[in-house]
């Protein structure tokens, strides 16, 4: 896979309920997911704290995090402004 952000939500190791909530909210790829903050996701129907923890753990496996409210990030690789935080180790 060329870009991890194009990975389908269905490919993540997350609960079916979590994936279904994201897909119902039109978040079909990781790119779609990381554009949202915790606060925004918790407003989704049937998406609660357990779903949030599940999703954050799955994103952490790819060194990705959800968007922080009101923040954007500059990609160190391409220079584009992104709505994600990349934890480079």
Query: Could you read off the pLDDT of 1-21 as tens digits, one per residue?
Result: 458 899 999 999 999 999 999
Query: Could you read off the pLDDT of 23-73 as tens digits, one per residue?
Result: 999 999 999 999 899 999 999 999 999 999 999 999 999 989 898 765 555
Q: What's the predicted TM-score (pTM) here?
A: 0.74
- Residue-range domains of the chain with CATH: 4-86 (1.10.150.20)
pLDDT at residue 68, as a whole number: 78
Under DSSP, is residue 82 helix (H, G, I), strand (E, B) or coil?
Answer: strand
Phi, psi of 75, rounded to the nearest 5 degrees:
-70, 125
**In the structure encoding, which two tokens stand for residue 6, read together?**
């194009």
Taking the C-alpha atoms of residue 32 and residue 34, their distance in angstroms, rounded to an integer, is 6
Look at the block and give the residue holding tokens 């997911």. 33
């Amino acid at each position: 896979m060329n870009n991890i952000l194009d990975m389908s939500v269905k490919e993540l190791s997350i609960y079916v309920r979590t994936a279904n909530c994201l897909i119902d909210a039109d978040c079909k790829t990781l790119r779609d997911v990381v554009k949202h903050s915790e606060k925004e996701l918790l407003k989704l129907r049937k998406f609660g704290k357990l779903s949030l923890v599940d999703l954050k753990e799955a994103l952490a496996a790819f060194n990705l995090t959800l968007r922080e409210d009101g923040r954007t990030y500059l990609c160190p690789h391409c220079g584009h402004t992104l709505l994600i935080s990349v934890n480079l180790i």
